[in-house]
Chain A
Amino acid sequence: MSSAAERARALLAGALETEPAALGADASIATLEAWDSLAHLRLIEALERALGKPLPPEAIVEIGSLADVTKILESA
């Protein structure tokens, strides 16, 4: 069973169409040029598929970094 951090990294890498190893721990909207509006849409959709339910608006608006994605998976 992979950790929430590993799953978050894989989900974000998939949305950004890159390799998980390419993402630093500080990966965020502010640090990654590849994190654009369509990548963000892919990330939200992937997260919701992984969780099996729609994200509440409070979660949607918080997501802006790898750490945020990890936090959501940890709290699921």
Chain B
Amino acid sequence: MNAPWKPGQPLTLDTPRYRLRSMLPADVNDDYFAWLRDKEIMAGVNSAPKAMTMEDIRKYVGKFNNRSSFHLGIFRKPDDRLIGFYSVYVDRPHALASTNVVVGEKQCWGKGVVLETRAAIIDFLFDRLRVAKIWGSPMARNIPSVFNYKAQGFACEAVLKRHRVGPDGGRADQFMFALFPEQWRAVKARQAARDSKPA
């Protein structure tokens, strides 16, 4: 059961293995600082390592309003260690939302962190905020990210050719993925059916 939330107040979402909660500037720690300077981690979001100071990062984190923008830390249970974060943006006039995720703790890669935690965010966006569509735009060669979108029922609406500068300096393709509530309900029904089958 997630804690009650009102617009503008910090958000907390619980999953079996993680707690997502609105980050405060004070939550930015040395790990977070190091992730932004890690070439391999930042390549996942097609971004060059950032030379931000701790003060810059804390100011950035403080700008999310918990109304139309959320910066959610992924805190592992039970040790409450910060292992990554989401930036979630909501376009209220058009009832659209997008999510970007960084899993900074490399030992957690391939452990289903994004599938588990983004499911809670998707539920919140569709059920609580009543958004009509959620979108994401991974780089075409970010295969784990592409997998996560597909596994959660997102459909590819467009392939944007040579749309961005890639990590190697060349032009890189990008996908536009989108998820509608009825697709999400179908994914959840399939998962429930699979989980109810005897092993």
Contacts and interface: CB of A to CB of B under 8 A. Distances in A.
B144 interface: yes
A37 B148 contact: yes
Is chain B's interface secondary structure helix, strand, loop, or mixed overall?
helix
Contacts of A40: 143-144, 146-147
Interface residues of B, number: 22
Nearest to A42: B143
Nearest to B112: A36
A64 B147 CA distance: 8
B194 interface: yes
Given A29-B147, A60-B140, A36 B110 contact: yes
Contacts of A31: 194
Contacts of A64: 150
Contacts of B150: 29, 61, 64
The 10 lowest CB-CB distance pairs between A and B, nearest first, are A37-B144, A38-B110, A40-B147, A57-B140, A37-B147, A57-B173, A41-B143, A61-B156, A57-B159, A44-B143
Interface of A: 29-31, 33, 36-38, 40-41, 44, 57-58, 60-61, 64
